[in-house]
Amino acid sequence: MSTLTIALPSTEAPARGRLLRWNDSLTRFALSWPFPLAVLLAWYLAAEYEWLPPQILPPPAMVATTFVELMQTGELPDNLWISLWRVLAGFLAGGLGGLALGVLMGLSPTAKDYLYPTFRLIAQVPSIGWLPLLMMLVGIGEALKIILISKAAFVPIALNTYKGLQGVSTRFIEVARVYRFTRWQLLAKVVFPAALPQIWNGIRYGLTHAWLALVAVELLASSEGLGFMIVYGRQLYQLDVVLAAVVVVGAIGFTLDKLLAVIEQRLLRWRRDGF
Amino acid sequence: MTTSTEIADLRRIVRGATLPAFLFAIWWAAFHFEWTDTVMFVPIGKVWETAVRLSDNGYLWRSLGASLARDLAGFALGSTIGFAAGIALGLSRLLENLVGPTLHTIKQISLFAWIPLISVWFGLGDTAKVVFLSLAAFFPVVLNTFEGIRSVPRELIEVGRVFALTPLQMLRRVVLPAALPSIFAGVHLALIYAWLATLGAEYLLTSGIGIGNLLTDGREHLWMDQVLLGIVVVGFVGFALNLVATRIESRLLRWRGTSTGQY
């Protein structure tokens, strides 16, 4: 504990001329590099001195070369596009369905009574649990991937849309009554804007889950896509291919999430202007 | 003596049961009127028979036991490491700046993509599965523990300073209790992810037994009854884990309502 100082919000103004200002973006950026570089160096040394055989741990340079090669031959871009197309199609199908069901259950208590228990039952079993059954019903073609990814996106979007709409405070609604809004004005100007943050949360979860489901289904039942590249590389003990594909999987996951975060900021700004 | 709320409750139950009942009726009718060939499609009764058969010969329980043992081992390991790492990152700005960005980058790699790599490094047996499960449980716990510690209200810290608490006392008496709801949210997520990961690991690393193997086995032989049974078990375990987590959560956080401030 002696070297760990408890860094808690300081009660006094920060002293000027301190060596490190934690919130300084340059400081943060500079400090983010030593650790990954150290890992890279350890990896390089482990491969260089053959502490581990190359099938188990290919040197970093080899992974980089393989990555460039796979880009040039088109193998990586081709598989990447297939994966992206699948995730987009599944996310759109599942997302639109989820939005529709969420809106229906959020606005109509009767519909909620009829549909919610069944929805909970289906949602209780994770997407990956449905996979064997779906494989039996629709085979291992494109339909399987799209259905599974749709289901993964559908559940969080439907759930959060429903909860968000249901949670709109009655106070808001009373204000709208005072203003004598029509039913449509009430929905468009009050209910939906108020529920938007939670609906958007659901959409973000939906995309994350869709990407998870895509990788899972491509690892288990596919002959193309990023997940297939990982499995195929693993079978041939070409760990450089596996690592290159894993890096791309991480990069895409990161980009998708960032994209939605940026859109969210836009949406919320629009919301502030709306009031 | 039925009150209006009882009638409303009853109506809700009837409405909720309508759709499942309708689906079951179609399923039953499909057999009764012989609309399908029965190679893959099984009658409802057959699923129950299979459940009884696999329960009696112990296969179901051995599979479930193996899966749960793996699940809990990986969950315990991953969430413990995650908890320790989350505290370290929460308390030290230096450590957060050094390791945080890398952690957030690695977190983005879709969970299942790790399995092939882990299988090369740790083989195809239980070790690899538990390593993978720990990884699945680690991320939600480390992130939520860190967030929880960072969002401790300043007033509480000041009170601790007034009492001249040592750093360790501050951590035990002030910081951790205040961060507990967030930490628990992470643990709860870790439970869910570990169960997901258990299935994924058993699908991909097919050695040994488990619920995932029971499902894979049923699919390969086109035994729809066994697959449906597996799905019911998966859902039930997820439900039970959720229930347990929610119970413990509400019990542990009960003190928050009535702060007695006793030492």
Mean pLDDT score across all residues of chain B: 89
- Whether B260 has a pLDDT exceeding 90, the answer reads no
How confident is the model at residue A203, as a pLDDT?
Answer: 95
Nearest chain B residue to A216 by CA: give it.
B112
Nearest chain A residue to B87 by CA: give it.
A6
DSSP assigned state of A15: P
Q: How far is CA B108 from CA A209, B17, B86, B151, B191, in A?
A: 12, 40, 18, 23, 19
Residues of A in contact with B227 (CB under 8 A): 132-133, 136
Residues of A in contact with B102 (CB under 8 A): 32, 35-36, 39
Mean pLDDT (whole number) for B88-110: 90
Nearest chain B residue to A208 by CA: give it.
B110
Is B26 touching A (CB cutoff 8 A)? no
What does the pLDDT look like over B147-174, one tens digit per residue? Answer: 999 999 888 888 888 888 888 898 998 9
Choose, out of A1, A2, A5, A8, the residue to mutate when testing the contact with B (most B CBs < 10 Å).
A8
CB contact at 8 A, B154 and B200: no
Choose, out of B112, B196, B198, B220, the residue to mutate when testing the contact with A (most A CBs < 10 Å).
B112
- Whether A231 has a pLDDT exceeding 80, the answer reads yes
* The CA-based dihedral angle spanning residues B75, B81, B86, B87, taken in that order and rounded to the nearest 10 degrees: 120
- Whether B206 has a pLDDT exceeding 90, the answer reads no
Which of A113-122, A183-192, B65-74, B78-87 shows the lowest per-residue confidence on average (mean pLDDT)? A183-192
What's the gap in Å between the CA of B97 and the closest CA on chain A?
Answer: 6
How confident is the model at residue B36, as a pLDDT?
Answer: 66
**Contact: B116, A257; criterion CB under 8 Å:** no
CA–CA dist B201, B125 (Å, integer): 10
Residues of A in contact with B195 (CB under 8 A): 126
How confident is the model at residue B257, as a pLDDT?
Answer: 53
Return the higher-pLDDT residue of A2 and A59: A59
What's the gap in Å between the CA of B234 and the closest CA on chain A?
Answer: 6
What percentage of chain B carries pLDDT values higher than 70?
Answer: 94
How confident is the model at residue A272, as a pLDDT?
Answer: 56
How confident is the model at residue A5, as a pLDDT?
Answer: 47
Question: CB-CB: which of B18, B111, B224 is closest to A114?
Answer: B18
- Whether A3 has a pLDDT exceeding 50, the answer reads no
How confident is the model at residue A20, as a pLDDT?
Answer: 57
Q: Which pTM was predicted? A: 0.87
Residues of B in contact with A39 (CB under 8 A): 102
What does the pLDDT look like over B209-234, one tens digit per residue? Answer: 999 999 999 999 989 999 999 999 99
Which of A88-97, B104-113, B183-192, B206-215 shows the lowest per-residue confidence on average (mean pLDDT)? B104-113
Mean pLDDT (whole number) for B109-120: 92
Q: Which residues 44-83 of B are in CB contact (within 8 Å) with A?
A: none
- Whether B259 has a pLDDT exceeding 50, the answer reads no
Residues of A in contact with B100 (CB under 8 A): 32
Mean pLDDT (whole number) for A102-112: 91
- How many interchain CB pairs under 8 A, A with B? 172
How confident is the model at residue A245, as a pLDDT?
Answer: 95
Choose, out of A37, A79, A136, A220, the residue to mutate when testing the contact with B (most B CBs < 10 Å).
A136
- Whether A82 has a pLDDT exceeding 80, the answer reads yes
How confident is the model at residue B88, as a pLDDT?
Answer: 95
Which of B36-40, B71-75, B255-259 shows the lowest per-residue confidence on average (mean pLDDT)? B255-259
Mean pLDDT (whole number) for A90-119: 94
Residues of A in contact with B114 (CB under 8 A): 246
- Whether B1 has a pLDDT exceeding 60, the answer reads no
Mean pLDDT (whole number) for A228-249: 94
- Whether A188 has a pLDDT exceeding 60, the answer reads yes
- Whether B2 has a pLDDT exceeding 70, the answer reads no
Residue A264 pLDDT level (bands cut at 50, 70, 90): confident
- Whether A153 has a pLDDT exceeding 60, the answer reads yes
What does the pLDDT look like over B130-147, one tens digit per residue? Answer: 999 999 999 999 999 999
How confident is the model at residue A19, as a pLDDT?
Answer: 55
Mean pLDDT (whole number) for A226-243: 94
How confident is the model at residue B32, as a pLDDT?
Answer: 76
